Amino acid sequence: MGQLRLRQKPISTVKGILFDKDGTLSYSEPYLLNLASARIRVLKEQLRSIHSNETVARRAAASLASVCGIQMDRMQNATSLDPAGLLAVASREHNMISTAAVLCLQGHTWSEALLLAEKIFSEVDILLQRDTNLVKRPLVTGARDALSRMCMAGIACAVMSNDTRASINDFLKCQGLGRFIADFWGADDYPSKPKPQAVYMLCQRLKLEPAECALVSDSEADLVMAQQAGVGVSLGFTSGWSQSPHLSAHNYLINHWEELTAMPVQCSTKALS
């Protein structure tokens, strides 16, 4: 159990803390921009091959960029990302379904669109695996030290993400964070976030109640989830993106990890009479 302090002021005493990953622990924007550019490029290639029509390909690319919350330059490269948009917040499955919906607007049946979306995502996965520079997601400045401070204060740390369990595990191993993380919850766990039941299930694994925990995230959906699940204190985080997210469902707002510290608290016991 530890006392959380924000800018040196005590804010809550908790036994656990649930961290979002992308945009909170990891600086994922460069990776996601490359991912968006690759998916849009492959989508255009596929539609050119099917329709032999550049207008259809460009129209679909523009629609997908808009749906994903992406701004494109004249060379059709993703240049900026909405931290509250589909690509930044939603799971791979939801992004794939949205891509299929865009393809339906170009005249494809749902079955055709879904198969084509799956093909696009698979091709991009192969491209990313070949280019190791695209898969790196550096830690947000101060994140490692923040995790260390929480653990030293006796607070159990866990990760909640809409990434897959395999990707979360790879991230933790790559960044050497495994020793700080007691457990994690991914998109292939059921139910996935932002359903409040995801918080209940992860807290059960930690043998804690939601009210005994804090949650930190750059996502408004996560902060609302924390409220609905009865999490003890919710902390919005703003410095994981080049464009700060607009958050309102938090108890407190963190601008930089250095602002959050913790001190161990001894559990009090009453003497038996």
Q: Is the pLDDT of residue 270 over 70?
A: no
Summarize the confidence of residues 121-138 as an average pLDDT: 77
pLDDT band at 266, cuts 50/70/90?
confident
What CATH number has the domain bearing residue 144?
Answer: 3.40.50.1000
CA 16 – CA 200 distance, rounded (Å):
13
On whether both 142 and 257 belong to a single domain, the answer is yes
> pLDDT tens-digit profile of 216-247?
999 999 999 999 999 999 999 999 998 889 99
Q: Is the pLDDT of residue 141 over 70?
A: yes
Structural domain count of the chain: 2
On whether both 130 and 158 belong to a single domain, the answer is no
- Let me know: does 30 contact 96? Beta carbons within 8 Å: no
- Percent of the chain at pLDDT > 90 equals 80
Structure tokens at 203: 């807290």
Domain C-terminal end among 134, 156, 190: 134
> pLDDT tens-digit profile of 143-173?
999 999 999 999 999 999 999 999 899 999 9
Q: Looking at residue 267, what is its pLDDT? A: 64
> pLDDT tens-digit profile of 188-210?
999 999 999 999 999 999 999 99
> pLDDT tens-digit profile of 50-77?
998 899 999 999 999 999 999 888 766 7
- The strand order across the sheet containing 16-20 reads 181-185, 156-160, 16-20, 213-217, 233-237, 252-254
Q: Domain for residue 39, yes or no?
A: yes
On whether both 23 and 49 belong to a single domain, the answer is no
Q: Specify the higher pLDDT residue, 82 or 269.
A: 82
Q: Domain for residue 19, yes or no?
A: yes
Q: Is the pLDDT of residue 26 over 90?
A: yes
User: Residue 100, SS3?
Assistant: helix
On whether both 23 and 146 belong to a single domain, the answer is yes
Q: Is the pLDDT of residue 264 over 60?
A: yes
Q: Structural domain of residue 21, as residue ranges?
A: 2-28+138-264
Q: Looking at residue 93, what is its pLDDT? A: 92
Q: Looking at residue 71, what is its pLDDT? A: 86
Structure tokens at 157: 């740390």
Q: Is the pLDDT of residue 268 over 60?
A: no
pLDDT band at 269, cuts 50/70/90?
very low
On whether both 97 and 177 belong to a single domain, the answer is no
Q: Which residues touch 269 (CB under 8 Å, ≥6 apart)? A: none
pLDDT band at 273, cuts 50/70/90?
very low
On whether both 149 and 223 belong to a single domain, the answer is yes
Domain C-terminal end among 114, 134, 154: 134
User: How many CB atoms within 10 Å of residue 211?
Assistant: 13
On whether both 24 and 144 belong to a single domain, the answer is yes
User: Residue 250, SS3?
Assistant: coil
Q: Is the pLDDT of residue 1 over 70?
A: yes
- Let me know: does 18 contact 213? Beta carbons within 8 Å: yes
Summarize the confidence of residues 32-45 as an average pLDDT: 93
Q: Domain for residue 215, yes or no?
A: yes
Tell me which residue of 120, 102, 118, 100 sits closest to 110, measured CA to CA: 100
Compute, in degrees rounded to 10, the torsion defined by CA atoms 19, 24, 25, 27.
160
On whether both 16 and 146 belong to a single domain, the answer is yes
Domain C-terminal end among 115, 134, 153: 134
Structure tokens at 191: 């139910």
CA 91 – CA 106 distance, rounded (Å):
24
Candidate ranges 83-92, 109-118, 167-176; pick with highest mean pLDDT: 109-118
pLDDT band at 272, cuts 50/70/90?
very low
